Chains A and B, each alone.
Chain A
Amino acid sequence: MTIGMKTVSIKTIIASAAVAVGLMAAAPALASGGAAHPRSGGFSFDGPFGTYDQGQLQRGYKVYHEVCAACHSMNLMHYRNLGDAHGPFWNPKYPNPNDNPVVKALAKEIQIADIDSETGEAIQRDGTPADKFRNPYPNATAAAAGNGGAAPPDLSVMAKARHGGADYIYSLLSGYKDAPAGVTIRDGQHYNPYMAGDLTPFWTGDPKHVPPGGFIAMPPPLQNGQVTYDDGSPQTVDQYAKDVAAFIAWTSEPKMVERKQAGFGVIIFLLIFAGITYASYRRIWKGVAH
C-alpha cells in the first residue's frame, strides 16, 4: 500500500511539472492580444534543420533596398554582412566578405554621409563593405518628423522583436485590408488585422465581436510589379513580403545556420556521452543495492 502511494506521488510531481512547462509555454501566446494569428510563410529556415535560401535572401535584400530602406534604418547591419557565411551574397571564394566583389559593388552604389578627415567638413562618399547600412534619416527626431510623429522602427532584429517572427512580418506586409465597416480609422492610420492592438474604442458594432488587429502608421508599402526580379520569381506583393521577411529573419539571426549545425553536433555528442556515463554508472553501482 505504501508502495502504491509513493508511486502515485512521484508521478503526480512529474505530471505537475509537465503541466507547469505547458502553462509556461502557453502564457505568452495567451498574452499576445487581439491580433490575427500570422500565416506561415513556409520558410526554408523553419524547423531544426532549416537553412536560409540564398536566392530568397538576395531578392529580399533587393526589396529592402528599393522599398523599405527609404524609411527604415538597419543600424546593426553592415554591407560586409551581405557576404557573410549563409548570407545573401556569400561566396566561399571570399572567406573575408570585405573582399567579395559583389558586396563591394553593392556598397559602392550607396552614398554615405561622412566627415572629411582633413577638413572636418560633412561630405558624401561611396560606401565600403565596412559601412553600416545607410540610415535614411540623420537622427531619430528627423525620422519621426518625416513620418507624422512615428519614427519607422529599425529593422535589424525585427524578426526577433515581434511574436511570430518572419511569419508575422510576411503576414503584416501582405495582409493589409480595408477596415471592416464599423471601425473608425484615425487620420494617418491604416488597418491591418495582424497588427497588435485593440480596436474596441474604435468599433461601433457588436462589442462581443471586435475585429482582430490594430492600426499601423505605415501605408501598404508593396505593390505588384514594384521590384524587378531577374530570377523569374513572381513579382507579387505576396512574394515580395515573403522574401523581405526572410531577409529580415536573416539580419535578425545571421548565425542561425551555424547555431543549428553546432547544436546538432553538440547534442549527438552529449547523447553518446550520456550513454557512456550511464554504462560507467551501471558498472560502478553493480551489485550495490540502493
Chain B
Amino acid sequence: MSDHESTYVPKTGVEKWLDTRLPIIRFGADYMSLPTPRNLNYWWTFGGILAICLMTQIITGIVLAMHYTPHVDLAFASVERIMRDVNGGWLIRYVHANGASMFFIAVYLHMLRGLYYGSYKAPREMIWIIGCVIFFLMIATAFLGYVLPWGQMSFWGAEVITNLIGAIPGVGEPILIWLRGGPAIDNATLNRFFSLHYLLPFAILGCVVLHLWALHAAGQNNPVGILIPKDRAKKDLLPFHPYFTVKDGFAIILFLILFAIFVFYQPNALGHADNYIPANPLQTPAHIVPEWYMLPFYAILRAIPDKFGGVVAMFAAIGVLFVLPWLDTSKVRSMRYRPTMRTFFIIFLVVGVGLGWCGGQLPDSPVIGSFKTFTLFDGDLNSYLWLTRLFTAYYFAFFFIIMPLVGLKETPLPIPATISEPVLTGADAAEQKG
C-alpha cells in the first residue's frame, strides 16, 4: 500500500497548470483512491467519526470565542448570554459541550479497536504513537475547556488538577505558581487557559495530519491483521472512494443521531449540575468529580496513597500506551486469533469501565451493602478504595505482565493466508452479525 501509485490524470488545462505547481488535487485524489482492505468492519469507521468530531469542536469553538469573555467576573454570565441572547447560541454551546463527550466516546472506541486488532504493531508504531499524542492533547484541551464556563466544577477541577503539578518534589511549587500566574486559580489562570484551549486543537489538527501520513505510509490494518501480499492487492483491496466513504458516511450519520439525542434532549446529562453555580473560591462543592472521560485516570490517581505517587501512576497510565508496541511480544496482530489474549482483553474492558465507575464514587464508601469488613492498611476492604486498587493493579498488569507473557506462551489459532479466506468461510460475516 505504501507503494500506491498515483492514478490521477489532470484533465483540464487549469488542472494541468496546477498539477505541476501545487499538486493538491493529486494529493486529494490519491487519498480518495487509497487501496483499502475490503474486510474493514464498522469498528474502522471511528477514524472518520473522529475527524467530524474535531472539525465540529474547532468550528463551534471559534464561534463561541466570538461571544465568550475570559474574565472571572464575566465568564459565567457570558456563557449564559450565549445560551440566551446570541442567535442560536444555545445550540452552538450545547454542541460544543456535548461534542467533547462524543469525541471521547469515539476516541476510546477507536483506541480499543487498535488494541484488539493489534493496529499498533510493526509497521504501524508511529500511527499509534501519534495517536497517543493526540489522545493526550485531547485530555489537556478538554480539561482547559471545562474551566472556561467558570462554574464551581470548572474552578475546583482546575484547582485539583493544577495541584498535581505541585506534587513534584522540589520544583513543584514554583511551577505551580508559574502555571497559575499567582498563588491561586484566578483571572490570570482563566486567561491563559482560554488562550491554550484555543491553541491546542490546532496542535491536534497538526498531529492528525501526521497520523494520516503515517497511515498512508504503512497502510491500513484489517480485522485479520495480516499484511496483504502484493500479488493479492487487486483482489483484497478496494479504492477508498466510494466503498469506504459511503461506509464511513453511514456510520457518521448514525453517530450524529446519538450526538443529536444528547444535544437536543439530554444536553446536561453528561455534565455536572454544580457547574451551573458560579465559581466560588471560598467554598468547595460537596463532591467533586471530573468529566466522565477522565474518571478512570482520576480513579488511578486516588488509588495511590502518596500524593506524588498518585500523579506518577496517573501519567503512567497514559504513558504506558506510548510503549505498547514494544510490550506486546506476539507476532499475531488480531486478537481474533489469540483466544487467551482476548479473554484478558475483555477483563481489561470491564476493569476500564470499573475504574471509571470507581472514579465517580467516594473512596471510603462501601461497594456492597453498607457493612464494613476489616481494615487493610488505610481502608476497609469493602470500599471503593480497595476496588480501585484492584482494578489499577490489573490495568498495569495487563500491559506490563500479561501482554509480554501471553505473547510468548500462547498458541494462536491458525491465521488465514489472505483476508479473502475468512470471507469465504463466513467467519467474518458471523462476527459482524454478532
Chains A and B share a contact (CB less than 8 Å):
yes
Residues of A within 8 A of B (CB): 2-3, 5-13, 16, 19-20, 23-25, 27-28, 30-31, 33, 48, 75-76, 81, 153-154, 156-157, 160-163, 196, 252, 254-255, 258-260, 262-264, 266-267, 270-271, 273-274, 277-278, 280-281, 284-285, 288-290
* Residue in contact with B286 in the complex, picked from A13, A196, A252, CB distance below 8 Å: A196
Contact A277 B246 (CB under 8 A): yes
* Residue in contact with B238 in the complex, picked from A76, A262, A271, A288, CB distance below 8 Å: A288
Contact B246 A284 (CB under 8 A): yes
What 3 A-B pairs are tightest by C-beta distance, nearest first?
A: A263-B264, A7-B434, A27-B360
Q: List 26 A-B contacts (CB under 8 A).
A: A2-B427, A6-B336, A9-B346, A16-B346, A20-B353, A24-B292, A24-B356, A27-B357, A28-B360, A31-B362, A76-B84, A161-B274, A161-B276, A162-B273, A252-B276, A255-B90, A259-B267, A260-B264, A263-B263, A264-B264, A266-B264, A277-B250, A277-B253, A281-B247, A281-B250, A290-B428
Say yes or no: A157-B276 contact (C-beta < 8 A), given A6-B430, A10-B434. Answer: yes
Contact B84 A277 (CB under 8 A): no
CB-CB nearest in chain A for B252: A277
Contact A284 B276 (CB under 8 A): no
Q: Which residues on B sit within 8 Å (CB–CB) of A11?
A: 434
Q: Which residues on B sit within 8 Å (CB–CB) of A273?
A: 253
Q: Which residues on B sit within 8 Å (CB–CB) of A12?
A: 346
**Min CB gap A290→B, angstroms:** 5
**Min CB gap A36→B, angstroms:** 16
Interface string of B38-54 (1 = CB under 8 A from A): 11100000000000000
Q: Which residues on B sit within 8 Å (CB–CB) of A255?
A: 83-84, 90
Q: Which residues on A sit within 8 Å (CB–CB) of B277?
A: 153, 161
* Residue in contact with A288 in the complex, picked from B38, B254, B346, B427, CB distance below 8 Å: B38
Q: Which residues on A sit within 8 Å (CB–CB) of B206?
A: none
Contact B260 A13 (CB under 8 A): no
CB-CB nearest in chain A for B292: A24
Give Cα A25–Cα B170 distance, bound, in whole angstroms.
Answer: 41
Q: Which residues on B sit within 8 Å (CB–CB) of A259?
A: 90-91, 94, 264, 267
**Min CB gap A65→B, angstroms:** 20
> In the complex, how many residues of chain B place their beta carbon closer than 8 angstroms to a beta carbon of chain A?
65
* Residue in contact with A290 in the complex, picked from B38, B91, B256, B356, CB distance below 8 Å: B38
Give Cα A10–Cα B434 distance, bound, in whole angstroms.
Answer: 6
Residues of B within 8 A of A (CB): 38-40, 77, 80-81, 83-84, 90-91, 94, 238, 242-243, 246-247, 249-250, 253-254, 256-257, 260-261, 263-265, 267-269, 272-274, 276-278, 286-287, 289, 292, 295, 335-336, 339, 342, 346, 349-350, 353, 356-357, 360-362, 413, 420, 423-424, 426-428, 430-431, 433-434
Give Cα A48–Cα B139 distance, bound, in whole angstroms.
Answer: 32
Say yes or no: A274-B430 contact (C-beta < 8 A), given A23-B357, A28-B272, A263-B264. Answer: no
Say yes or no: A3-B430 contact (C-beta < 8 A), given A23-B353, A281-B247, A288-B238. Answer: yes
**Min CB gap B137→A, angstroms:** 23
Q: Which residues on A sit within 8 Å (CB–CB) of B346?
A: 9, 12-13, 16
* Residue in contact with A270 in the complex, picked from B39, B257, B427, CB distance below 8 Å: B257
Q: Which residues on A sit within 8 Å (CB–CB) of B80?
A: 76, 156-157
* Residue in contact with B361 in the complex, picked from A3, A10, A30, A281, CB distance below 8 Å: A30
Tell me whether chain A's interface is mostly helix, strand or loop, or mixed.
helix
CB-CB nearest in chain A for B109: A17
* Residue in contact with A31 in the complex, picked from B77, B268, B289, CB distance below 8 Å: B289
Contact A5 B360 (CB under 8 A): no
Contact B264 A20 (CB under 8 A): no
Contact A274 B253 (CB under 8 A): yes
Contact B246 A263 (CB under 8 A): no
Q: Which residues on A sit within 8 Å (CB–CB) of B335?
A: 9
Give Cα A285–Cα B94 distance, bound, in whole angstroms.
Answer: 36
Q: Which residues on A sit within 8 Å (CB–CB) of B40?
A: 290
Say yes or no: A48-B254 contact (C-beta < 8 A), given A33-B287, A160-B273, A280-B246. Answer: no
Contact A10 B431 (CB under 8 A): yes
What would 6 more interface pairs be, CB under 8 Å, given A24-B356, A277-B246? A11-B434, A20-B356, A30-B360, A48-B265, A255-B90, A289-B424
**Min CB gap B55→A, angstroms:** 17
Q: Which residues on B sit within 8 Å (CB–CB) of A10?
A: 431, 434
Which of A20, A260, A289 is packed against the most chain B CB atoms within 10 Å?
Answer: A20
Q: Which residues on B sit within 8 Å (CB–CB) of A160?
A: 268, 273, 276
Give Cα A289–Cα B201 distance, bound, in whole angstroms.
Answer: 39
CB-CB nearest in chain A for B257: A270
Q: Which residues on B sit within 8 Å (CB–CB) of A7?
A: 430-431, 433-434
Which of A33, A163, A263 is packed against the most chain B CB atoms within 10 Å?
Answer: A263
Give Cα A63–Cα B238 distance, bound, in whole angstroms.
Answer: 67
Contact B256 A270 (CB under 8 A): yes
**Min CB gap A214→B, angstroms:** 10
Which of B38, B264, B360 is packed against the most chain A CB atoms within 10 Å?
Answer: B264
Contact B434 A285 (CB under 8 A): no
Q: Which residues on B sit within 8 Å (CB–CB) of A280?
A: 246
Contact A277 B249 (CB under 8 A): yes
CB-CB nearest in chain A for B89: A255
Contact B257 A27 (CB under 8 A): no
Q: Which residues on B sit within 8 Å (CB–CB) of A81?
A: 84
* Residue in contact with A267 in the complex, picked from B260, B272, B349, B433, CB distance below 8 Å: B260
Say yes or no: A290-B257 contact (C-beta < 8 A), given A16-B353, A81-B84. Answer: no
Give Cα A1–Cα B415 distance, bound, in whole angstroms.
Answer: 14
Q: Which residues on B sit within 8 Å (CB–CB) of A20?
A: 353, 356
Contact B242 A23 (CB under 8 A): no
* Residue in contact with B84 in the complex, picked from A16, A23, A254, A284, CB distance below 8 Å: A254
* Residue in contact with A27 in the complex, picked from B84, B256, B339, B361, CB distance below 8 Å: B361
CB-CB nearest in chain A for B38: A290
Which of B84, B94, B254, B263 is packed against the most chain A CB atoms within 10 Å?
Answer: B84
Contact B413 A2 (CB under 8 A): yes
Say yes or no: A6-B431 contact (C-beta < 8 A), given A20-B356, A27-B361, A270-B257. Answer: yes
Contact A288 B243 (CB under 8 A): yes
Give Cα A8–Cα B339 distance, bound, in whole angstroms.
Answer: 11
* Residue in contact with A13 in the complex, picked from B90, B94, B292, B349, CB distance below 8 Å: B349
Say yes or no: A16-B38 contact (C-beta < 8 A), given A27-B361, A81-B84, A267-B261. Answer: no
